[in-house]
Amino acid sequence: MVTRKFPRYPAQISSILMQRDRLKYNAALRDVSVKGCRVESVIRPFTGMQLEVSLQLPGEATPITITNAAVRWTGSHGIGIEFLTIAPPQLERLNQLITKLSSATHAA
């Protein structure tokens, strides 16, 4: 069993993964925490690959963008991504998202 410092919350959010060479891949975010997420995508990354992650929230024009992230694992259940650094405005938006997801999870 994996023990996490920060809980992950289920989500269904459209995302874009961008490699350093600027290739973009659509992804479906499946769960998220303040330090990372799990996505499903056609991309076949390697562990340690550096990425930029954009989370397109429903009803919002501007995505949450994490410019410094890395692949930590890949497998049949998706791709595990760690957020390495997040700009303060993006972190605030991410925390707001996690608060909403946490409330929805506890209400269910």
Per-residue pLDDT reduced to its tens digit, 75-107: 988 999 999 999 999 999 999 999 999 987 766
Number of structural domains found in the chain: 1
Global pTM reads 0.90
Q: Which domain holds residue 55?
A: 9-107
Which tens digits make up the pLDDT trace of 5-56?
889 999 999 999 999 888 999 999 999 999 999 999 998 899 999 999 999 9
- Residue 4 maps to a domain: no
Which CATH number fits the domain that encloses residue 99?
2.40.10.220
Q: What is the 3-state secondary structure (H, E, C) of the chain?
A: CCCCCCCCEEEEEEEEEEECCCCEEEEEEEEECCCEEEEEECCCCCCCCEEEEEEECCCCCCCEEEEEEEEEEEECCEEEEEEEECCHHHHHHHHHHHHHHHHHHHHC
pLDDT at 29: 97
pLDDT at 20: 83
- Residue 74 maps to a domain: yes
- Residue 2 maps to a domain: no
